Amino acid sequence: MSKFSLFPSSNPGQVTLVEAPAAATYARKARIVFWVVGLSSAVIGALSLAYTMPWPIVGMVLGTAAGFVVGFVCAVVVRIWPVLRAVWHWLAEICLFLVVVVGGTALVHTVPFVVALAVFGVPVAVVAALPASRRFVLTVFWCTVDRHRLRSFCARLLRSSSAKGGTLPLILIARPTPSGERVWMWLRPGLTLADLEGRTGALAEEFGAHQVRIGRASRTRAAYVYVDVVRRDPLRATVLSHLPDLVAFDASIVPTSPGMPPIGGLSLHEVPEPLPPAPRRGGRRPSDEEA
């Protein structure tokens, strides 16, 4: 197991400074997982197959083998976890790359070049021409960009002194909202919501956004948090109340005032300066000023 290594030197999912120890940690974790999961599933598999198969010995051997296969698969997942995380992180780009390059190559080999160009060019032109679809593509673009920026922000935070040695959070999906984007993430040990609080200004600069708001996405699971990236203000328009529609308008019930009510002292020169306070207490003080 310990020999197993994919991209050993330039692992994109790891923070460069802690790369070598991290790789060793993943290898050790994988070995532990292999033995713990493998042994326990081997015992379970052997016992259950021994009792259910017609030949207990064959069942036991098969069950043991199956158990170790399960253990091996789990160990591989643990060993390549940084790679899986990187793949998850770059999934959108990888898919796009596959479609454009692999699909494009295949297309060019099967149909004439002009047709292939049309197959790719026409949808791109249509999407670019229609404002709604263009906006949609742009919001999706910002969502993918936000996830990368959030990840690099967290990585930098983990390298800084305050949260040193923590684990990178799992950046879940991002979704466009009327004001920008919302990214969900799952915090792992070492980086807490409190570490991010007070850094919303720095986050906003990182995202190139107007402001950033963070909070818990779930009342029961503290690790599940959201990051709201605010790029525009959707609350510009006046909101109307439905209450006036609930009552049928009847001009006759609105009371009308007889005319301009007789109120004086509306201009400053009509309002006299208040009299200075009486010199001694106990004396009768001038009360209301007459306007």
Partner 1 sequence: MSIATLPATSTVPVGPGLSIFEPAFLGADESGRRVDLSLMWRNLLIGGTPGSGKSVALSNLVAHAALSYDCGLVLIDGKQVELGLWADCADVFVGPDQGHAIRTLQRLQTLTDNRYTYLRAVDRRKITPADPFDPILIAIDEIAYFSATVGDKKSQDLFSALLRDLVARGRAIGLIVVAATQRPSSDIIPTSLRDLFAWRLAGYCSTESSSDIVLGRGWAQRGFNAEQLDPDNPGTGYLVAESGTARLVKSAYLSDEDIRHLASWAAYTRRPHLTLPA
Residues that bind partner 1 (CB under 8 A): 177-179, 197-198, 200, 204, 210-216, 219, 228, 233-236, 238-244, 246-247, 249-250, 252-257
Q: Hey, which residues does 212 pair with through a beta bridge?
A: 229
Yes or no: say if 63 and 49 are a contact pair by the CB < 8 Å rule.
yes
Nearer to partner 1, 19 or 228 (CB): 228
Shortest Cβ distance from residue 229 to partner 1 (Å)? 10
Closest distance to partner 1 from the beta carbon of 217 (Å)? 10
Task: Please answer whether residues 157 and 191 qualify as being in contact, where contact means their C-beta atoms are separated by less than 8 angstroms.
Answer: yes
d(CA 110, CA 92): 26
* Residue with tokens 């009299």, as numbered in its chain: 275
Nearer to partner 1 (CB atom), residue 29 or residue 199: 199
Task: Give the type of residue at 27.
Answer: A
Nearer to partner 1, 113 or 249 (CB): 249
Sign of the torsion angle spanned by Cα atoms 149, 154, 158, 163:
positive
Residue with tokens 């460069």: 16
Q: How far is the CB of 272 from partner 1 (least distance, A)?
A: 19
Calpha distance 203→226 (Å, rounded): 13
Decide whether 241 or 267 has the Cβ nearer to partner 1. 241
Q: Rounded distance, CA 1 to CA 13, Å?
A: 20
Of 108, 44, 34, 36, the closest CA to residue 74 belongs to: 34
Q: What residue type is 36 in one-letter code?
A: V
Asked whether the beta carbons of 79 and 31 are under 8 A apart, the reply is no
> Strands of 224-230's sheet, edge to edge?
170-177, 180-186, 224-230, 211-216
Least Cβ distance, residue 184 to partner 1 (angstroms): 15
Q: Nearest distance from residue 246's CB to partner 1, in Å?
A: 4
To partner 1, the closest distance from the beta carbon of 170 in angstroms equals 20
- Least distance CB 263 / partner 1 (angstroms): 12
Distance CA 165, CA 189 (A): 9
Distance (Å) of CA 173 to CA 5, 12, 40, 81, 170: 28, 19, 34, 18, 10
Q: Are 59 and 49 in contact (CB under 8 A)?
A: yes
Task: Between 54 and 274, name the residue whose CB sits nearer to partner 1.
Answer: 274
State in angstroms the smallest separation of the CB of 232 from partner 1.
10
Instruction: Decide whether 105 or 160 has the Cβ nearer to partner 1.
Output: 160
Closer to partner 1 by Cβ: residue 246 or 260: 246
Structure tokens at 181: 């984007």
| Cβ distance to partner 1 smaller for residue 29 or 216 | 216
